[in-house]
Amino acid sequence: MAATTQFRTCPTTGLKIDLAAQSLIKANAVAAVVFLAIGGLFGLSIALTRWPEIHLLPVDWFYMALTAHGLDVLLCWIIFFEVAVLYFASAVLLNCRLAAPRTAWVAFVLMVVGAALTNVTVLQGESSVMFTSYTPLRAAPNFYLGLIIFAVGALVACGNFFGTLVIAKEERTYEGSVPLVTFGALTAAIIAVFTLASGAVILIPTWLWSLGYINHIDPVMYKLVWWAMGHSSQQINVSAHVAVWYAVAAILLGAKPLSEKASRLAFLLYIFFLQLASAHHLLVEPGISSEWKIFNTSYAMYLAVLGSMIHALTVPGTIEAAQRKLGFNKGMFEWLRKAPWGNPAFSGVFLSLVMFGFLGGISGVVLGTEQINLIMHNTLYVPGHFHATVVTGTTLTFMAVTYLILPLILQRDVMFPRMAQWQPYVFGLGAAGISLFMMGAGTLGVPRRHWDVTFADSPFGFEFPSAAFMMLALNGLSAILAATGGLMYVVNVVASVFFGKKTADKPMKVAVPVSTSGQPAAVGAYGSAGSLNIPGTITLVTIFFVSFVLYYYVNWKYLAEVWPLR
Amino acid sequence: MAVTPPANRLWWNEPIHIVELGWIVIAFIWGLVMFFTMVYWHSIGEQNLANETYKVVPQSFAAKAEAMTEKYTVRDEVGIPVVRPPPGSDVYLIARIWSWWPILELEKDQSYRLHLSAMEYSHGFSLQPVNINIQIQPGYEHVLTITPNQSGKFGIVCNEFCGFGHHTMVSPLYVVDRS
Ligand code: HEM
Ligand SMILES: [Cu+2]
Ligand SMILES: [Cu+2]
């Protein structure tokens, strides 16, 4: 095979790019964007339904759209994109051919078929069980079958990634250790294998159950195993988008990790300590002891949180160090003020970094605290939290890096550069809005996955405070903004890929040319600078830490005010 | 650079700067603090979810709830009995599509052993506006001791999706001052 592999040389980075890998990256990224468009539309429609004054969809459509939304964005959009990231981080960054392009296409087809099968099944209306499909709710067999096929495809794609790493090592296409970004992607892929295995363990029996071959699946056991997939897969996302943060900082600003050791350790913590965090989905479940809950949320989770907290310093730190090296050295924040805010790849990544940390990270730890979960479980606080992680975090990051992938990998100029400039801001603001307002509504008790919180059809009813309705209205407005930002992205990507001008064969303008010819660095140097000078980052991280501690204890105070129970 | 192999092949020998190391230590200690806060709350906090749970067949749970209801019904509302069990007693609440059964009337500042279970699907016990949220599963009988410390009319909203009638699953819960 190796003999037939065709390469081109990237004029910006000097990297050799396997053309087969390039087509696969394109196919997977395009599929991802298509599912984002579909899923985003569902998202808008449910947000408008939850806005009581509008109440867009009828009840059966609402739950169907909610099921489809979760599947299309969380599974399809993100995983297709991650496959593209894996191929990029292996074949492209390591100057290597992709291990087995043909099986990679098989993986792609499996994923498309699986995703389509599940979507069609959901749209037939008999499978509105939410993407979590908690038993004993029962979907049509093809719902589970589609997911299984999709997962098998994703697993094959991961196999290709591992294979490529092996080939790169054997054929010595790089020197020394793999780049940090590839290491992050490797973390993601390892977690993905664990995740997909858990998925098989739970989805195959559930499929058989829906066909009638198995007659009982314990609902608590189901949740435990399902979340071993459902939660760990979120750690795939985090690993992948943190890897992308480092990549974008490196490509645009020539940023070097402050310390390879610390950043890699942080990725390793994800692998070691995340799996049991599925426990934090079971905090108010019957039949599970407090000891088990505390042990598994904190031993497992807080060390994974530690990983994220390390990145919270090192990612802005590498950016600051790189900017200072470029001469933006005045005062505490010149490096930030004069950062390339007009470049959507940078602005998207930085907004994502800040919002993921402040909104998603803090709320996640609070929500995952054994006792505090009592005042938040299954309220809108939960989707509020995870829209901050998967939307302002992962999704915004993936959008941002698309603006680099387009010219560098897909060799197309971005068709509407002005629109691209605005896009991360519009989408970021909207996404921050839906996160915050859903969290706000949840704090006031509004349930998630609920068609009508005015309870008009119920003999009893309950009246939520008017502030809750205001939150839902603001959530609807933010959803319109986010959907607009999403549309700006989708239109731009699709237009550029299919009708865009082919990139001229000259290097893209970046702050520091990326070079793979590895200039030897002084041994003992701290990352980008000879000595580490990152006062701005230290200030930001201090603000983050203080907010974290305050918000954490405020919630204990809220908890202390509710009815005593034991 | 993060997209190229580490320039220093022996990167693991590079020192970690004191700023980075300091932050790692702080973050780690914070993790420990959060861990011990949860443990500590079990000894001093008044809001800890009970661990008492039994496996139960839905019909036998329903039978217990019916027996209690027969004894303590004080009136009914839209066909659903309102029960006022004595303080300290075992109180049963059934979650089923798409109602809570029966309606409870409790006394303020008294404790009750509340038994929760579901008949067919999972449901979510969400006491509003207090905002206490507990998962209810079919086949599991979860027993918790609750002490209402406010009087008034409260709502129990189902907050686990349980089918197309999910949004109608709400019922009042009354807490009255001791007479
Ligand atoms: C235009 C952008 C988006 C809007 C307006 C939006 C809005 C919403 C709303 C209103 C809900 C329902 C809350 C409820 O009733 O329980 C929801 C649920 C959800 N969203 Fe989004 N969303 C958007 C994008 C995304 C993206 C990009 C992702 C993932 C990457 C995502 C993942 C989810 C998931 C997993 C759920 C939970 C579904 C469930 O409860 O079964 N959303 N979204
Ligand atoms: Cu229910
Ligand atoms: Cu329900």
Inspect the interface and report whether the beta carbons of B46 and A255 lie closer than 8 Å: no
Domain edges within chain B: 15-43, 51-176
Q: Which of A518, A552, A559 sits opposite B7 (nearest CB)?
A: A518
Instruction: Output the pLDDT for position B2.
Output: 85
Q: How many helices (H) and strands (E) does chain B have?
A: 2, 12
**Residue of A352, A391, A452 to test ligand 1 pocket, by largest number of atoms within 8 Å of CB:** A391
pLDDT at A2 over 80: no
- Residue minimizing CA distance to atom 5 of ligand 1: A479
Q: How confident is the model over A525-545, as pLDDT tens digits? A: 444 445 678 999 999 999 999
B39 to chain A: closest CA residue: A294
At B178, the pLDDT band (50, 70, 90 cuts) reads confident
Q: How many Å apart are CA A461 and CA A371, to the nearest integer?
A: 28
A94 to chain B: closest CA residue: B4
- Residue minimizing CA distance to atom 1 of ligand 1: A483
Both tokens of A362, joined, read 């803090």
Rounded to 5 degrees, what are φ and ψ at A304? -75, -35
Residues of A in contact with B151 (CB under 8 A): none
Dihedral of alpha carbons A218, A220, A224, A226, sign: positive
Q: How many Å apart are CA A354 and CA A382, to the nearest integer?
A: 19
Both tokens of A223, joined, read 């949740």
Percent of chain A exceeding pLDDT 70 equals 94
| A447, A464 Cβ separation under 8 angstroms | no
Instruction: Output the pLDDT for position A15.
Output: 82
Look up the ipTM and state it: 0.96
| A348, A354 Cβ separation under 8 angstroms | no
- The answer to whether the peptide bond before residue B12 is cis (omega within 30 degrees of 0) is no
pLDDT at A274 over 80: no
Q: How far is the CA of B169 from the centre of ligand 3 (A)?
A: 6
Percent of chain A exceeding pLDDT 90 equals 79
pLDDT at B179 over 90: no
At A519, the pLDDT band (50, 70, 90 cuts) reads very low
| Residues A498-506, mean pLDDT to the nearest whole number | 84
Domain edges within chain A: 366-503
Q: How confident is the model over A456-491, as pLDDT tens digits? A: 999 998 999 999 999 999 999 999 999 999 999 999
CATH class of B51-176: mainly beta
Q: How far is the CA of A378 from the centre of ligand 3 (A)?
A: 11
Sheet-wide strand order for B53-55: B53-55, B140-146, B112-118, B90-96, B99-101
- Distance (Å) from the alpha carbon of B132 to chain A's nearest alpha carbon: 5
- Distance (Å) from the alpha carbon of A223 to chain B's nearest alpha carbon: 11
